[in-house]
Structure 1
Amino acid sequence: MTVTAYKILTRGEWESLKAEGTFAGAPVDLADGYIHLSAPDQVAETAAKHFAGRDDLVLAEVDLRKLEGVKWEPSRGGQLFPHIYGVLPLAAVVRTEPLQTKK
């Protein structure tokens, strides 16, 4: 398992995380009971599947060593994905960049 994972956020979610210092999750995260992250090699597929055509996205690089409550669990095609059972603190985000997906 990698020590780095990624969270795809809307620009509004990113602004909220910066202002509040923590992120409890997007609507899908709240519905599922955990915050969905992607390993480095899963980001492109996650972006294409769940965020196609969006131009208001931020890709946040997350240092998993700064988190508690991370579990790697099977999801799409049996791949293991990192899930945060708790909040994402701003202190765990080590880098961000704009993310634009294809339509």
Structure 2
Amino acid sequence: MPETIGYKVLTADQLSALEQDGSFAGSPVDLEDGYIHLSTADQLEETLRKHYAGQDGLQLVAIDLDALGDAVKWEPSRGGALFPHIYGPITLDVVVAYSALEYEPDGSIRLPITG
């Protein structure tokens, strides 16, 4: 797949657990489905609208998909679009950046950056 970074939306408590434990096994929905749902940058807006509307304090985590190797599967979801799914935990060594979910003045999502 052309995308090398996937994004996971977490609550502040979930991000805190990732920071403290060094890994994140998934949200309740992830655990129920058997994999961790991620989105590409282009898929984030719809993911937020569909699954996180009205929630405050959200965090956005950028994940190096290449570092996860075979644990990443690109599978069809909304409208047949391929989404990155992780079969296993997110560990801090594959997190390239994270930040509070914020928006640019034009309303687009501000992606977390390193450095």
- TM-score, shorter chain, exceeding 0.5: yes
* RMSD of aligned residue pairs (Cα, Å): 1.2
Contact 1:55 1:100 in 2 (8 A): no
Q: Does 1:48 align with 2:67?
A: no
Q: Does 1:61 align with 2:32?
A: no
List gaps (5 residues or longer) in structure 2.
Answer: 104-115
Q: TM-score, normalised by structure 2?
A: 0.84
Q: TM-score, normalised by structure 1?
A: 0.93
Q: Does 1:12 align with 2:16?
A: no
- Using the TM superposition, give the Cα deviation of residue 55 of structure 1 relative to its aligned residue in structure 2, in angstroms: 1.1
Query: Match of 1:40, as an amino acid?
Result: A
- DSSP 3-state at the match of 1:67: helix
Aligned match of 2:91 in 81, 89, 92?
89
CA distance in 2: counterparts of 1:24 and 1:40, whole angstroms = 22
> 1:74 maps to which residue?
76
Identical residues among aligned pairs (%):
54
List gaps (5 residues or longer) in structure 1.
Answer: none
- DSSP 3-state at the match of 2:60: strand
